[in-house]
Amino acid sequence: MGFANQYLEKQKNFKFHINSKPPKDLNFIVVIPCYNEDRLINSLEALHNCHKPQTPVEIVIVINSSLDAENRVKEQNLKTFKEANEWIKIHKTYKFNYHSVFLPDLSPKFAGAGLARKIGMDEAVGRFNLIQNHDGIIISFDADSICDKNYLCEVEKNFNKHPDAAGCSIYFEHPLTGNEFSDEVYKAITLYELNLRYYLQSLRIISFPFAYHTIGSCFAVRASAYVKQGGMNRKKAGEDFYFLHKIIPSANFFEINSTRVIPSPRPSGRVPFGTGAVINKILMAKNTEFMTYNPKSFEDLGRFFKIFPELFKKQKPEIVKIIEMLPEPIRAFLYINNAVNKIEEVNNNCNNIKSFIKRLFSWFNAFKVLKFLNFCTERYYPQINVITAVNTILGKLGLPPSYNYGDSDLLKLLRKYEKRHCN
């Protein structure tokens, strides 16, 4: 019986889109959702030019659109499909093969980034299931991304170093200059990426254990872990965040910072949030400021995380007394979210402090963190300029404040820091 049989049977609409049998030693499948994309070949070329791993690699491209998509989108998808197939004929080999899947009529109710990524990743699971490779690696990429030449070999090397790991995030850098986009787009992506790194480092400063980048083109997961966590969701946007925050707490998760994915900074109107949507919003606002969560919100959250050990085996009156010592924003949020009863419940089901803290973080997870930050923004701490925010945390990272630095200089500083301090 295949390791994924039960999972695949539960996927009501699952069917194999690739008829050929996978190589018996297949160990890597790169999944690329593709929608209204005129530069897919650039991504395929980048992957093709990578140094080759020891075991076979397959690239699964899911060219997709909704049944009610505009004609221009359907025409572009068909053109992309034909171009991809011509390119594949020339470049495919036994150890490095490509498969294009053309799905022009997905249900309008579900069509989007999440469904396309799910179709590709389920296909990957199905192929690994055929050869009983539950340790097979599914790599998530995008049709407008490129990568360094050591990309695939570094994924292979790092998963070999972490044989028990469920998955990983992969280091990324958006292009900050060039001729492909306007100066306004490069300015916008600089601010957006600066905010992503500010958010991550702010969580790490307060010792949040699930602080990792969650970008759709920059992660990989073992097939067994994918199945165990119920697979990718069909969300039209943010599917990467929701999926990875099921994987991250479940088992060992790590980062690869010895290679690089280069995602596109282009604006997009397909999804309500995510990189393309944010860039589009910045451009439409014509505002050079990028506002972000106030550092005080993270500080208050950190105060709560710090008292987790004190809450172990405490009775309800003692729990209330400890919470009352916290700053008002986190205290109010905890009461609204019935935290006292939750902490008491966790205490009743844990025999040691390590298990207690782990369960508390399972409750106060990445989704709860985001809710708290939004709660703080609405009621207590207004958002501030991201450049000001970054300068606020530099000292906590052991870096000198750099108030004379521009946004790109600050971003390069955080990039360098992250590469050195990879979890």
- CATH assignment of the domain containing 200: 3.90.550.10
Task: Mark whether 278 and 316 lie in a shared domain.
Answer: no
Task: Mark whether 203 and 71 lie in a shared domain.
Answer: yes
Q: Cα 117 to the chain's mean position, in Å? A: 12
184 domain residue, yes or no: yes
Please tell me the total count of domains within the chain.
Answer: 2
388 domain residue, yes or no: no
Structural domain of residue 332, as residue ranges? Answer: 295-379
Task: Mark whether 96 and 47 lie in a shared domain.
Answer: yes
Q: 244, 261, 289: which is the final residue of a domain?
A: 289
399 domain residue, yes or no: no
The predicted model scores a pTM of 0.95
Q: DSSP letters of 274-337?
A: SHHHHHHHHHHHT-S--EE--HHHHHHHHHHHHTGGGGTT--HHHHHHHHTTS-HHHHHHHHHT
408 domain residue, yes or no: no
Task: Mark whether 37 and 169 lie in a shared domain.
Answer: yes
Q: Is 36 a residue whose pLDDT tops 60?
A: yes
Task: Mark whether 63 and 157 lie in a shared domain.
Answer: yes
Query: How confident is residue 409, by pLDDT bands cut at 50, 70 and 90?
Result: very high
Query: How confident is residue 232, by pLDDT bands cut at 50, 70 and 90?
Result: very high
Task: Mark whether 63 and 113 lie in a shared domain.
Answer: yes
Q: Is 342 a residue whose pLDDT tops 80?
A: yes
Q: Is 186 a residue whose pLDDT tops 70?
A: yes
Instruction: Specify the pLDDT at position 220.
Output: 98
Instruction: Specify the pLDDT at position 285.
Output: 76
Strand, coil or helix: 346: helix
Q: List the structure tokens of 325.
A: 């010592």
Task: Mark whether 228 and 199 lie in a shared domain.
Answer: yes
400 domain residue, yes or no: no
Q: Is 392 a residue whose pLDDT tops 90?
A: yes
- Please say whether the dihedral angle defined by the alpha carbons of residues 374, 376, 382 and 384, taken in this order, is positive or negative: negative
Task: Mark whether 262 and 366 lie in a shared domain.
Answer: no
354 domain residue, yes or no: yes
The DSSP bridge partners found for residue 97 are: 58
Dihedral pair phi/psi, residue 88, rounded to 5°: -60, -40
Q: CB of 147 within 8 A of CB of 395?
A: no
37 domain residue, yes or no: yes
Task: Mark whether 254 and 352 lie in a shared domain.
Answer: no
Instruction: Specify the pLDDT at position 276.
Output: 66
Q: CB of 158 within 8 A of CB of 180?
A: no
How does pLDDT run across 19-31, given as a tens digit for each residue?
A: 999 999 999 999 9
Task: Mark whether 124 and 150 lie in a shared domain.
Answer: yes
Task: Mark whether 313 and 186 lie in a shared domain.
Answer: no
Task: Mark whether 42 and 170 lie in a shared domain.
Answer: yes
Q: How far apart are CA 258 and CA 168, in angstroms?
A: 13
Q: Worst-scoring range by mean pLDDT, 294-308, 356-370, 401-415? A: 401-415
Q: How far apart are CA 174 and CA 178, in angstroms?
A: 11
Q: Is 269 a residue whose pLDDT tops 70?
A: no
215 domain residue, yes or no: yes
Q: 268, 289, 310: which is the final residue of a domain?
A: 289
